[in-house]
């Protein structure tokens, strides 16, 4: 090892900081990591011009200030080596052990060259990091410290890069720090993100804050002394500090509540930090005795901690100076947790963390995200879902047995069911909110008690996606619908092949296994289900496949028609050019990548489709259909006020819904309206048209045939 005197000044400062809480042998591991990292990064510089190794050292220093364990700090020193140098994970494991190597690998981004776009690469790297976080929470601590130092030195980047990184910081990394309760990192990430995304707004607000604070110093000190005196009289040991709002928190409050700067700043804010939980409630009583509390402005986050483990009492008082006084009351331990969150009091492999701590709550949140990503095929969809759950606003709802479930604000009763368990959500038939029946779409509020009624015959519906608010619920519903569509697709492909083979005097069961396996191998398919799916989606032609599987028989031209009931899902589509409905003569066309598209037999496009007979399919309506079908109507009406509302009412009275309406032309006397409405069949369409013809404002009604 090199003599420590030869280390750069930042490394010596890091060493001195580490010596305040780590054993000498553990500090030595981190200094050795610096030597290895320095050799690996030799010759590399950052855009600021400084040697690259000083960036990992700065990241390690951020973690050391959080008093993280030596594995985390050593991994921070080496965190860019796998990605940016020839050093491998195996070499790190050989020199420093598997634990440090896993942490370094967890922070390492994926190779962007393997993806079509930067956004796709970033999304997949985020997914990889999340999985590493679920195994070891320290991965995200290193990543957040890495992002914080990058934000501190962002001025060296090009303007477009600064804005992109700042936006990502505000959208993803600051909310993650908030979700983990790490306020000390969250506040700086937010403020640096805001400063780089909106520099003029940040500068203007910061200048105004400095001006306002300076003008109020005397009043602030007077209130602080009054609070301190009252706490002493009550026997509450404490320290009291003023709380400063950051420019970003002010900006966000101005935007979300439509307030002016003066309205946001018209408040004095203090934090009372005491010794124990009983002292917190004594301090609350003393503060309320000093100044009158504002009704409805008290929150007890000690009895009901936030999802990130944050605990504190919040109250707002009316001061004698005409402005409200915001007060937070907490213990020293709660204060550390509020600042450092899941990183507070990191206990290496102790296994002694108790339920309710920030670490446990962070892990519960991560496990929920892991469960969501397991059912999400698309990394971009997963990242969007994860972002939607990174909001600090939350509500606390109770099960009938008194268990607290925390949800994001605007969550519905159905979100609550999915928060209990995916299977509970999937089979939710109804809910009781405060013992009264309520719709699944009801937006829940603080303190409500929700009971879920399940039924094994109830399954997710696509309509549920219109109102659920949490990523877990959305992902579970989409996963079920996709699996259902997959089954429908396989079933349709099997039926199509069976029909084509029957026309050749054969069947799927009669096909020799070796012939089927040869077909699968030639088309790079693993299972029969993959073959059926490709047939239904039009990626393989059913007549060609049937001829391959039954080569000794000819098609007799008497293939059984495919029955269309309207319940086939996305695998069967209906031509938007002609809007076929039950009762119409129809034909089917197998479109590559889309599946079976049903057209009216007299559709203007059919002549062109018939030029591809291998893709044409005999179809007919089932005797009972299970859906509503769109149909296009052309209505010529009087051009007078109220005509559209009058016509809409007629359509509604005939039991039909309006899907779309356009007005392509009009003159002073008449207006031409194009409606797309939903009907059950031709009889239903006829009833709608008769009802419209009885409307005095309607001059002519006709079905659009092209």
How does pLDDT run across 455-484, given as a tens digit for each residue?
887 888 777 888 888 878 888 887 777 777
Please indicate, yes or no, whether residues 99 and 170 belong to a single structural domain of this protein: yes
Confidence of residue 645 (pLDDT cuts 50, 70, 90): confident
Give mean pLDDT, residues 174-187.
Answer: 82
CA distance 477 to 677: 27
Residue 21 sits in a domain of what CATH number?
Answer: 1.10.3210.10
Same domain, residue pair 136 and 231: no
Let me know if residue 390 belongs to a domain. Answer: no
Residue where a domain stops, chosen among 182, 197, 212: 197
**Residue 66 lies inside a defined structural domain of this protein:** yes
pLDDT of residue 28: 93
Q: Say yes or no: 59 and 161 in one domain.
A: yes
pLDDT band at 623 (very low <50, low <70, confident <90, very high): confident
Say if residue 8 is in the same domain as residue 127: yes
* DSSP code at position 170: I
Return the H-helix or E-strand segment holding 212: helix 199-234
Of the listed ranges 370-374, 395-399, 591-595, the one predicted with least confidence: 370-374
In terms of domains, do 83 and 130 share one? yes
In this predicted structure, the answer to whether residue 113 has a pLDDT above a threshold of 50 is no
What is the pLDDT, as a whole number, of residue 354?
A: 42
- Give the pLDDT confidence score for residue 232 in this predicted structure: 93
Residue 199, CB-side half-sphere exposure with 13 Å CA sphere: 6
CA atoms of 641 and 175, how far apart (whole Å): 51
Residue 457 in domain: no
- Residue 238: closest CA among 181, 290, 278, 269: 278
Q: Categorize the per-residue pLDDT at 544 as very low, low, confident or very high, splitting at 50, 70 and 90.
A: confident
Averaged pLDDT for residues 157-166: 88
pLDDT of residue 525: 84
- Greater confidence (222 vs 109) lies with 222
Residues 495, 552 share a domain:
yes
The SS3 assignment for 454 reads strand
In a shared domain, residues 49 and 182? yes
pLDDT reported for residue 127: 62
Lowest mean pLDDT among 221-225, 277-281, 593-597: 593-597
Closest C-alpha among 603, 600, 598, 602 to residue 617: 598
Q: Give the position of tokens 């990130």.
A: 308
**What is residue 88's DSSP assignment?**
-
Find which of 396-405, 541-550, 553-562 is predicted with most confidence, using mean pLDDT. Answer: 541-550
Q: What is the DSSP letter of 62?
A: H
Shared domain check, 172 and 55: yes
- pLDDT value at position 125? 60
pLDDT of residue 189: 93
pLDDT in the model for residue 522: 81
Among 547-556, 595-604, 643-652, which is the least confidently predicted range? 547-556
Dist. CA 38–CA 53, nearest whole Å: 6
Q: Are residues 234 and 192 in the same domain?
A: no
Per-residue confidence (pLDDT) for residue 523, from 0 to 100? 82
Asked if 59 and 147 sit in the same domain, the reply is: yes
- 209 or 241: which leads in pLDDT: 241
pLDDT at 100 over 80: yes
Contact 353, 360 (CB under 8 A): yes
Give the per-residue pLDDT at 437. Answer: 86
pLDDT digits (tens, 9 = 90+) for 325-345: 889 999 998 888 788 776 665
Section 382-396 average pLDDT: 54
Q: Encoding tokens for residue 396? A: 């606390």
Greater confidence, 288 or 156?
288
The pLDDT tens digits for 5-36 are 577 888 999 999 999 988 999 999 999 999 99
Last residue of a domain, one of 343, 361, 380: 343
The β-bridge relationship of strands 616-617 and 586-591 is antiparallel
Residue 463, domain member (yes or no): no
pTM over cut 0.75? no
Host domain of residue 645: 629-703
pLDDT tens for 432-445 read 988 888 888 888 88
pLDDT digits (tens, 9 = 90+) for 45-64: 888 788 999 999 999 999 99
The CA distances from residue 244 to 249, 265, 269, 329, in Å, are 10, 10, 7, 15
Residue 349 has pLDDT above 50, yes or no: no
Residues 245/187, Cβ–Cβ less than 8 Å: no
Residue 258 has pLDDT above 80, yes or no: no
Rounded to an integer, the average pLDDT of 97-108 is: 86
Could you tell me the CATH number of the domain that includes residue 254? 3.30.460.10
Task: Report residue 676: phi and psi, to 5°.
Answer: -115, 115
- Is there a contact between 562 and 495 (Cβ–Cβ < 8 Å)? yes
507 with 581, same domain: the answer is yes
Average of per-residue pLDDT values in the chain: 81
CB 508 within 8 A of CB 501: yes
Average pLDDT (265-283) is 87
369 lies in a domain? no
Identify the active-site residue in 83, 120, 529, 555: 83
295: pLDDT strictly greater than 60: yes
Is-catalytic flag, 83?
yes
**Residue 348 reports pLDDT greater than 60:** no
**CB 367 within 8 Å of CB 472:** no
**In the predicted structure, residue 115 carries a pLDDT above the cut 60:** no
pLDDT at 111 over 50: no
Confidence of residue 535 (pLDDT cuts 50, 70, 90): confident
Identify the residue with better confidence: 570 or 546: 546
* Cα atoms in the Cβ-side hemisphere of radius 13 Å centred on 405: 24
Give me the pLDDT at residue 27, please: 93
Structure-token pair, residue 512: 């020799």
Place of tokens 């309205």: 263
The residue from 573, 597, 621 where one domain ends is: 621
Q: With respect to residue 489, please indicate whether it lies within any of the assigned structural domains.
A: yes
Question: Which CATH number is 662's domain given?
Answer: 3.30.70.260
Closest CA to 481 of 564, 408, 570, 544: 570
Distance between CA 122 and CA 171 in Å, rounded?
A: 13
- Tokens 């400095």, residue located: 210
Higher-pLDDT residue of 373 and 586 is: 586
Structure token digits, residue 663: 């007005």
Of 42, 84, 207, 608, which one is the catalytic site residue?
84
Scanning the structure block, which residue is given the tokens 């993280």? Answer: 68
- Reported as a single tens digit per residue, the pLDDT across 184-237 is 888 899 999 999 999 998 888 888 877 776 667 788 888 899 999 999 999 999
Q: Is residue 243 part of a domain?
A: yes
How is residue 420 written in tokens? 């209990």
Residues 289 and 185 reside in one and the same domain = no
The verdict on whether 122 is a catalytic residue reads no
Number of domains in the chain: 4
Give pLDDT, residue 351.
38
Counting residues of the chain whose pLDDT is more than 70, the rounded percentage is 84
Q: What is the mean pLDDT of residues 529-540?
A: 82
Question: What tokens appear for 644 in the block?
Answer: 């559209």
């Amino acid at each position: 090892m090199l003599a420590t005197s030869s280390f750069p000044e930042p490394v010596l400062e890091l060493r001195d900081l580490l010596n305040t809480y780590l054993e000498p042998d553990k500090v030595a591991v981190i200094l050795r990591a610096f030597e290895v990292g320095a050799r690996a990064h030799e010759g590399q510089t950052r855009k600021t011009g400084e040697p690259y190794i000083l960036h990992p050292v700065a990241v390690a220093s951020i973690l050391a200030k959080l008093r993280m364990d030596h594995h985390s700090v050593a991994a921070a020193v080496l965190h860019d080596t796998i990605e940016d140098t020839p050093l491998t994970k195996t070499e790190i494991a050989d020199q420093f052990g598997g634990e440090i190597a896993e942490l370094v690998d967890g922070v390492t981004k994926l190779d962007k060259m393997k993806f079509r776009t930067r956004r796709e690469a970033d999304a997949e790297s985020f997914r990889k990091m999340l999985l590493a976080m679920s195994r070891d929470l320290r991965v995200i601590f290193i990543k957040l410290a890495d992002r914080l130092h990058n934000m501190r030195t962002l001025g060296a980047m090009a303007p477009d890069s600064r804005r992109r990184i700042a936006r990502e910081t505000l959208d993803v990394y600051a909310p993650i720090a908030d979700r983990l309760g790490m306020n000390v990192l969250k506040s700086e990430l937010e403020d640096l993100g805001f400063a780089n995304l909106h520099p003029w707004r940040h500068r203007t607000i910061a200048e105004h804050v400095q001006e306002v604070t300076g003008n109020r110093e005397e009043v602030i000190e007077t209130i602080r002394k009054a609070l301190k005196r009252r706490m002493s009289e009550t026997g509450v040991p404490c320290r009291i500090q003023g709380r400063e709002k950051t420019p970003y928190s002010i900006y966000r409050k101005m935007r979300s509540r439509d307030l002016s700067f003066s309205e946001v700043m018209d408040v004095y804010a203090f934090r009372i930090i005491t010794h124990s939980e009983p002292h917190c409630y004594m301090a609350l009583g003393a503060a309320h005795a000093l100044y009158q509390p504002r009704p409805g402005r008290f929150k007890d986050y000690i009895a009901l901690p936030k999802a990130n483990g944050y605990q504190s009492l919040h109250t707002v008082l009316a001061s004698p100076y005409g402005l409200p006084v915001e007060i937070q009351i907490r213990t020293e331990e709660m204060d550390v947790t509020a600042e450092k969150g899941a990183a507070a009091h990191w206990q290496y492999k102790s296994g002694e963390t108790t339920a309710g701590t920030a670490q446990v709550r962070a892990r519960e949140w991560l496990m929920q995200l892991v469960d969501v990503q397991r059912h999400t095929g698309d990394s971009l969809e997963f990242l969007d879902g994860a972002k939607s759950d990174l909001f600090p606003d939350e509500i606390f709802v109770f099960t009938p047995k008194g268990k607290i479930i925390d949800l994001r604000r605007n969550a519905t009763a159905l979100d609550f069911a999915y928060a209990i368990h995916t299977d509970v959500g999937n089979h939710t038939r109804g809910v009781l909110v405060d013992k009264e029946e309520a719709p699944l779409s009801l937006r829940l509020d603080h303190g409500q008690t929700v009971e879920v009624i399940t039924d094994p015959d109830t399954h997710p519906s696509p309509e549920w996606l219109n109102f659920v608010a949490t990523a877990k619920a959305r992902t579970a519903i989409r996963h079920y619908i996709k699996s259902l569509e997959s089954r429908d697709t396989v079933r349709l492909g099997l039926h199509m092949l069976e029909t084509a083979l029957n026309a050749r005097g054969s069947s799927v069961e009669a096909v020799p296994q070796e012939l089927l396996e040869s077909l699968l191998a030639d088309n790079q398919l693993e299972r029969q289900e993959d073959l059926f799916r490709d047939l239904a989606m039009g990626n393989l032609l059913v007549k060609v496949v049937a001829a391959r599987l039954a080569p000794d028989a000819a098609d007799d031209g008497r293939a059984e028609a495919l029955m269309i009931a309207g319940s086939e899902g996305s695998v069967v589509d209906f031509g938007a050019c002609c809007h076929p409905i039950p009762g119409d003569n129809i034909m089917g066309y197998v479109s590559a990548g889309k599946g079976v598209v049903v057209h009216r037999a007299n559709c203007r496009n059919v002549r062109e489709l018939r030029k591809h007979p291998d893709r044409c399919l005999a179809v007919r309506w089932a005797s009972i259909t299970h859906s509503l079908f769109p149909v296009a109507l052309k209505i010529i009406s009087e051009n007078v006020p109220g005509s559209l509302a009058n016509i809409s009412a007629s359509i509604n009275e005939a039991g039909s819904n309006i899907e779309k309406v356009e007005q392509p032309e009009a003159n002073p006397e008449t207006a031409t309206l194009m409606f797309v409405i939903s009907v059950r069949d031709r009889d239903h369409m006829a009833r709608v048209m008769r009802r419209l013809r009885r409307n005095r404002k309607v001059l002519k009604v006709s079905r659009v045939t092209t």
